[in-house]
């Protein structure tokens, strides 16, 4: 049950990790693990962050708890800026905001009994009375579904699910107001995952907790979250109430994740939206909308008459050339059987290049839109003579997409926030996407 008052307010939070080289640690780049995320969690609310592996979820959680120092932005807890806390304030904050680990083994010392492990935070925070500590721990163990006499047993005597119950008890022993749970069930058997999630939901009600739940698994998030933020490559692309977001995803990335949730309803099966490839490198994220390199709904210029699927394939081809394809790679694609025997420069026949590329990207002969067909043919001509720079220039000039050239704003719409050019009415209906002759708007952050 959520209330209105925000316990946690995250505003434009950034965490960039410097990449260094050599003994002098020269900075050669930055991993933009978290790049300007904003959201809030009300008292008693469960907020989930979902996204594929490498999107920056754990870094976001650790930076919010100040286990990592933020590069930019603010985190306010109960109205006060956590990023400015001194040591004493940080100690108090660490009592009020607890982290629940993915792997319960990492929070439990195998040499300590359950009672000793759970007593540790109480001792650190000044509770000297041994009997009182024992009675708090025994009642908490009972509350998480274990026996009071489990207090004297050791971690190896418990199953994974039981160990996560102990982990929960440890996280709650200081009576925190915020629980940050990073993949709390992904290390557990599927059969016990739901039990732990139910327990978390019950404990939240009972203790009036706010929860930040991090997971790559939408099924897990759907189980207990009030609101959800969908994270892609360091940014939140969509935020909204969980029920709404799952039943009516607005961002193509959310749609793809939602469509991948296994469904018990046969009418919903087989409606998967393909999500090809991996999350790009956060040290070198794509320009514009970061999802454009994989987006099944990437926007074509208005004046082209092209099926969405073909446009995606054309852009995949364009990205391959833009990413710096070499003559060797093109040769291997065109003449795979000859690639090993090849010595020195070799002539590529234009017709063979054309065939190979059309088959690789499943493009029709000819393409349905005459102008795109002509751009493709001219590009092939340049590739066949090894002029990759001219091919890149041509593709960039003639096959632009706003998704590549401009970063979408986070638009608020009926309690949802979505960052996509498809949602940005102004961009889609009034500003036609840039064409060759238009000045291209480059996203400054990604230059």
Ligand X SMILES: Nc1ncnc2c1ncn2[C@@H]1O[C@H](COP(=O)(O)OP(=O)(O)OP(=O)(O)O)[C@@H](O)[C@H]1O
Q: Does 17 bind ligand X (CB under 6 A)?
A: yes
What residues numbered 28-57 form the site for ligand X, per CB under 6 A?
Answer: 31, 33, 51, 53-57
- Over the window 197 to 216, marking each residue x when it contacts ligand X by CB under 6 A and - when it does not, the resulting string is -------------------x
Q: Is 131 helix (H, G, I), strand (E, B) or coil?
A: helix
Across the beta sheet with 178-182, the strand order is 97-100, 178-182, 210-215, 46-50, 227-232, 235-241, 416-418, 411-413
Residues 278-317 that bind ligand X (CB under 6 A): 282
Helix (H, G, I), strand (E, B) or coil at 436: coil
Ramachandran angles phi, psi of 311, nearest 5° = -60, -40
* Smallest separation (angstroms) from ligand X to the CB of 10: 15
Q: Smallest gap, in angstroms, from Cβ of residue 422 to ligand X?
A: 24
Please identify, using beta-carbon distances, which residue of 54 and 145 lies nearer to ligand X. Answer: 54
Q: Are 301 and 324 in contact (CB under 8 A)?
A: no
Q: Which of residues 215-244 bind ligand X (CB under 6 A)?
A: 216
- Say whether residue 184 binds ligand X (CB under 6 A): no
Nearer to ligand X, 173 or 197 (CB): 197
CA–CA separation, 116 vs 408, rounded Å?
A: 51
We find the least distance from the C-beta atom of residue 63 to ligand X, in angstroms, to be 9
The mark string for 58-77 relative to ligand X (x by CB under 6 A, - otherwise) is xx------------------
Q: By CB under 6 A, how many residues form the interface with ligand X?
A: 13
Nearer to ligand X, 31 or 99 (CB): 31
CA nearest neighbour of 100 among 16, 203, 243: 203
The three-class DSSP label of residue 50 is strand
Residue 417 β-bridge partners: 239, 412
**Minimum distance of ligand X from residue 53's CB (angstroms):** 3
Q: Does residue 161 belong to the site contacting ligand X (CB under 6 A)?
A: no
C-alpha 384: how far from chain center: 39
H or E, element range at 98: strand 97-100
Shortest spacing between CB 324 and ligand X, in angstroms: 21
CB of 218 to ligand X, least distance (A): 13
What the block records as the tokens of 71 is 């590069």
The nearest distance, CB 14 to ligand X, in angstroms, is 12
Measured from the CB atom, the residue of 53 and 374 that comes closer to ligand X is: 53
Judge contact between 383 and 330, C-beta under 8 A. yes
**String of contacts with ligand X for each residue 253-282, x by CB under 6 A:** -----------------------------x
Say how many C-beta atoms besides its own lie within 10 A of residue 343's C-beta. Answer: 5
Other C-beta atoms within 10 Å of 427: how many?
Answer: 19
The contact set with ligand X (CB under 6 A) reads 17, 31, 33, 51, 53-59, 216, 282
């Amino acid at each position: 049950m959520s209330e209105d008052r925000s316990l946690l307010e995250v505003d434009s939070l950034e965490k960039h990790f410097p990449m260094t080289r050599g003994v002098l640690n020269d900075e050669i780049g930055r991993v933009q693990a978290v790049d300007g995320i904003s959201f809030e969690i009300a008292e008693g609310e469960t907020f989930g962050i979902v996204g594929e592996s490498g999107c920056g979820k754990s870094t976001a959680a650790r930076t919010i708890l100040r286990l990592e120092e933020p590069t930019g932005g603010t985190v306010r807890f109960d109205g006060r800026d956590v990023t400015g806390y001194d040591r004493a304030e940080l100690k108090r904050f660490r009592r009020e905001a607890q982290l629940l680990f993915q792997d319960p083994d990492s929070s439990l010392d195998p040499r300590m009994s359950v009672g000793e492990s759970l007593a540790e935070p109480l001792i650190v925070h000044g509770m000297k009375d041994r009997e009182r500590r024992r009675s708090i721990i025994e009642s908490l163990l009972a509350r998480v579904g274990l026996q009071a006499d489990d207090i004297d047993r050791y971690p190896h005597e418990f199953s994974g699910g039981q160990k996560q119950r102990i982990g929960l008890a440890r996280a709650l022993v200081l009576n925190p107001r915020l629980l940050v749970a990073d993949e709390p069930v992904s290390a557990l058997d599927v059969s016990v995952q739901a039990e732990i999630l139910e327990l978390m939901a019950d404990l939240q009600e009972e203790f009036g907790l706010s929860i930040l739940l991090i997971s790559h698994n939408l099924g897990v998030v759907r189980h207990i979250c009030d609101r959800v933020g969908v994270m892609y490559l360091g940014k939140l692309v969509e935020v909204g109430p969980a029920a709404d977001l799952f039943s009516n995803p607005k961002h193509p990335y959310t749609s793809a994740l939602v469509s991948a949730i296994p469904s018990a309803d046969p009418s919903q099966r087989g409606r998967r939206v393909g999500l090809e490839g991996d999350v790009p490198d956060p040290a070198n994220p794509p320009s514009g909308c970061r999802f454009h390199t994989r987006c099944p709904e990437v926007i074509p210029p208005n004046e082209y008459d092209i099926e969405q699927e073909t446009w995606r394939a054309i852009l995949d081809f364009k990205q391959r050339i833009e990413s710096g394809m070499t003559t060797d790679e093109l040769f291997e694609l065109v003449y795979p059987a000859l690639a090993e025997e090849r010595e020195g420069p070799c002539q590529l026949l234009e017709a063979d290049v054309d065939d190979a590329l059309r088959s690789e990207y499943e493009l029709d002969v000819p393409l349905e839109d005459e102008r795109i067909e002509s751009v493709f043919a001219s590009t092939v001509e340049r590739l066949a003579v090894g002029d990759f720079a001219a091919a890149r220039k041509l593709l960039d000039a003639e096959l632009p997409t706003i998704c590549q050239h401009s970063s979408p704003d986070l638009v608020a719409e009926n309690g949802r926030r979505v960052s996509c050019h498809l949602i940005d009415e102004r961009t889609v209906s009034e500003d036609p996407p840039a064409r060759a002759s238009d000045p291209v708007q480059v996203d400054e952050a990604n230059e």
